[in-house]
Amino acid sequence: MKIFEGKLYFLKDCFFEKYKTKYNLLENEKISTNKRPTYYCIKDNNNEEILWFVPLSRQYNKYYNIYLSKLHKNKSNKNILNFVFIKNVAGEKSVLLIQNMFPATKDYIEKEYKRNSQPVKIPNIKKKEILDKVTQVLINAKQNRDYVSFTRPLEFKDELLNSVNKNSNQFLRTEMLIGKEAVQKLHNSKVAVFGLGGVGSFVTEGLARAGIENFVLVDNDVVDITNLNRQLIATHKTIGKNKVDVMKERILDINPSAKIETFKEFFMPDSSHDMIDDSVDYIVDAVDTVTAKIELVMMANKMNIPIISAMGTGNKLDPTKFEVTDIYKTEMCPLAKVMRKELKARGIKKLKVVYSKENPIKTVIQEENINNKKSLDTITTQKQVPASISFVPSVAGLIIAGEVVKDLHNT
């Protein structure tokens, strides 16, 4: 979004939540009769990453009386009179409170606002007065002069710049590969990942490290000791914890700017679809159940959202046998065979998948059971839990992450 200097913006609650304690931003909420105060935008002359926001209040008479009182007491020092009174802003009397201004990053505004701000007509003479008083407040702050400000503007600005530099450096190597604009596009993209097991956990981390900052994570399971051999989120410390919670914490450790919605839910055809809307740019199917996989494909097709599905990674030992192809070009994979049949019956023409051309390995535990003449019921039950190893589902997950990033980059 193009940033317009001299226009009105509404800052969202998440900004205040992050900085209100340190910089007393809640004070600014008292200056307006609106639940979300309005701010006048000014670009920083020294750094293009910073924008200044000056609170706009409709309480004209209140601040005009304060102004007259201060003027009477301090006739020799007009620099403390940091009000700009305008008699017609969108048809109302308003006052800009220069001393309560604070910075925000251009990146924050570009990501949070999907449409242009409201236009506001302010006389040029008033614009000059605003800029002059903003400059004076910053000079006073730099020289540690006594002035009224809730926000300690220069300290606030330095913190924001440090954050910008930190995030910029974090994705520097990625920017070198695909460019700054492409990285920004990844930051703005939203990916829904269904299933956070051996495949899905690696998909999610691969996306987070590539620069995706918006996630929907869906999984109803908790980390189990049997997950330790292959799942990224599984450690002895995370056993018993919800997978979506562990994955969310891990993503935020990688990128604190990420925004993550979690659903502790086993997705099935009768599940609510409210977790997916048109803000989602891509869906990753990393679930195990055929019915769930089919429903995800049908939902994505109906909503016109790109989707990629993981086929079977159990009972495999060779990670070099994975391929990215259409579901109707797959072979060898038992899961893909079932999916081909079911999707064809439902009129689905195509589906991007990651699958392995390796023949499934007959697992040792099954042969032992057969040799020991265990019951057919026991053998059948154990066949439903495939064997696995660390380096197979992880590779499939990273391949999927790569496909998602490339598709979003090329779109």
- pLDDT for the residue numbered 5: 67
Contact 392, 313 (CB under 8 A): yes
Q: pLDDT tier at 146 (50, 70, 90 boundaries)? A: low
Q: Record the pTM.
A: 0.62
313 and 388 in contact (C-beta within 8 Å)? yes
Does the pLDDT of residue 185 top 80, yes or no?
yes
Most confident of 10-19, 193-202, 360-369: 193-202
Instruction: Determine whether 168 is exposed, middle or buried from the number of CB atoms within 10 Å of its CB (0-12, 13-18, 19+).
Output: middle
pLDDT digits (tens, 9 = 90+) for 101-126: 888 888 777 766 554 455 567 788 88
d(CA 172, CA 9): 30
pLDDT at 147 over 60: no
Which domains does the chain show, CATH number per domain?
8-170 (3.10.129.130), 174-410 (3.40.50.720)
Kindly tell me if the per-residue pLDDT of 36 is higher than 60: no
Count of residues in the chain: 411
Q: Residue 18: is its pLDDT beyond 70?
A: yes
Q: What is the CA radius of gyration of the chain?
A: 28
Run of H or E residues at 28: none
Identify the top-confidence range among 79-88, 161-170, 330-339: 330-339
Predicted local confidence at residue 219, as pLDDT: 97
Whose structure tokens read 């304690």?
Answer: 21
- The Cα–Cα gap between 101 and 64 comes to 18
